[in-house]
Structure 1
Amino acid sequence: MIKAIFFDLSGVLFEGNHPIEHAAKTINRLEHGGLILRFITNTSRKTRQQILSELHAMDFQIQEDQLFTAPEAAKSWCIQRNLSPYCLVHSNIKSEFEEIETPPFNAVVIGDAEHDMSYENLDKAFEVLSTGAPLIAIGNNRYFKDEDRLHLDTGPFVKALEFASEQQAIVTGKPSTAFFEQVIASTGCKRHEILMIGDDVISDIEGARKAGLKACLVKTGKYQPGDELKISPPADVASDVTAAINHMLPAI
């Protein structure tokens, strides 16, 4: 029996600045049905408060303690290990890392830096990594969808730095099992009692499965035809988040 549901945000609840049809009503219905809801995102262009404000503006009445973000997981990972990282992150979240981004740097944190993902900044990150410092990736997604087209996400740049520094990045967001376990612990539920709904077959669906959760892929957001076949066994798939709930939890 499903007692908790984890939702990805962009591409599942909304696309760009527009909520996906019926998504807000579905979330409210689940809240009133007594299910435990968590919202987990690799988004690294916005602070927690920016994310919450935008969700509230779209009528998603999500509480702060229900939201888990990959940038916060990366910051916590560094603090726990007393690291001072060079942070190649978006200007919107740069202030979130100010307290730990103090030279000399002994790590690199990389996220979706958008316009700041320049050769100069990537080369600075490589300079730090060349000393043997670890590479911490907020996420490892290949691409994301914003409005009407796909855009490069953090993953391709993570791969470039991995190749140059001859090391494997430590991913602190999805599909990291440790990230999922942090969210699982907040629910008090057993793994088989939790469902993950996402639009990324690797980060959301395969990541959730590896953490022991049930999962359903939606055909909104970044979904591309055939994505469900990229993992084995193929992912359960639904047209959107409302259809996913009706398919996976027919009694709700």
Structure 2
Amino acid sequence: MLKGVLIDLAGVLYTGEKALPGAVAAVRRLRAAGVAVRFLTNSTRSPKRMLLARLKAFGVDLAPDELFTPAAAACDWLARHGHAPHLLIHPELCEDFADAHAIGPEAVVLGDAGRFFTYEALNAAFRKIDAGAPFLALAANRVFRDSDGELSLDAGAFVVALEHASGRAALLFGKPAPGFFSAAAASMGAGMAEVAMIGDDAEADIAGALDAGAALAVLVRTGKYRDGDETRFKPGPSMVVDGIGDAVDALLA
């Protein structure tokens, strides 16, 4: 019996401003079966406050400590290491860093800044990394399903650009970083071998969770899923289903 299930947000529970069919009921079925649930997102355009409000508006009942975000993980790192953030992020995410150290050596923090990825902003971040500042990447996803229904560039391309220019690897905080998964599992009193992951990203969600030691990882054909994703990355998914309702049915069975 699984102790817990980790669930991605965008593309699994909802798309745009609409909950996906059966998503809310699927979460309720897990809780009713006594299975702990944690929500993991690589979204770095919206603050945690807005993500919680969106989920609750859809009817997903959750506590703030059940939602794991890369920004929160990065803030913990900054506090433990005594660094102040140099932010290259979307302005809406800035509130999640409001309590970060204002003084101390700087660390570059990169998220999905969207249209704020200007040459000037990227070059300023490069110069700080080149001068020795730690480089923190909130996520490194390749693409995401945008509000118009099409795929758009995610933060990963900009992470790689700064790594290439500076010759220094970023420290990753979101999926597929093993510590991101294991922190969520530990919060449920579980080890990674006792949890399953449900996601729409075959690379970050599925291969990432399995590499981190998850018992199972279920790929859903919603969100950013594209035909052939199940064979595009290794390790491949434990199973592929049409949506989260089917994933929960399979896991509870």
Deviation at 1:233, TM superposition (A): 4.4
Q: Give deviations 1:113-140, integer Å, cap 9, x for gaps.
A: 1121111110110111110212100001
1:97-112 equivalence runs, <5 A: 97-100=97-100, 102=102, 106-112=106-112
Partner residue in 1 for 2:36? 36
Q: Is the 8 A contact 1:77 1:172 kept in 2?
A: no
Partner residue in 2 for 1:202? 203
CA RMSD in angstroms, aligned pairs only: 1.4
SS at match of 2:39: strand
SS at match of 1:39: strand
CA separation in 2, counterparts of 1:232 and 1:95? 36
Partner residue in 2 for 1:132? 132
User: What count of residue pairs does the alignment treat as equivalent?
Assistant: 250
Deviation at 1:180, TM superposition (A): 1.1
Partner residue in 2 for 1:221? 223
CA separation in 1, counterparts of 2:83 and 2:45? 22
CA separation in 2, counterparts of 1:103 and 1:67? 28
Q: Give deviations 1:211-232, integer Å, cap 9, x for gaps.
A: 1102111110001111110233
> TM-score by structure 2 length?
0.94
The one-letter code sitting in structure 1 at the alignment partner of 2:30 is: L
Q: Is the 8 A contact 1:136 1:170 kept in 2?
A: yes
CA separation in 1, counterparts of 2:234 and 2:112? 29
The one-letter code sitting in structure 2 at the alignment partner of 1:243 is: D
Deviation at 1:93, TM superposition (A): 1.4
CA separation in 2, counterparts of 1:99 and 1:186? 23
1:29-108 equivalence runs, <5 A: 29-100=29-100, 102=102, 106-108=106-108
Percent of residue pairs bearing the same amino acid type = 38
Unaligned runs of 5+ in 2: none
More deviation, 59-68/14-23: 59-68
CA separation in 2, counterparts of 1:88 and 1:104? 18
> TM-score by structure 1 length?
0.95
CA separation in 1, counterparts of 2:103 and 2:64? 32
CA separation in 2, counterparts of 1:18 and 1:146? 13
Partner residue in 1 for 2:150? 149
Asked if residue 244 in structure 1 is aligned to residue 247 in structure 2, the reply is: yes
Label 1:155 to 1:101 Cα distance change in 2 as closer, same or farther (>3 A). farther
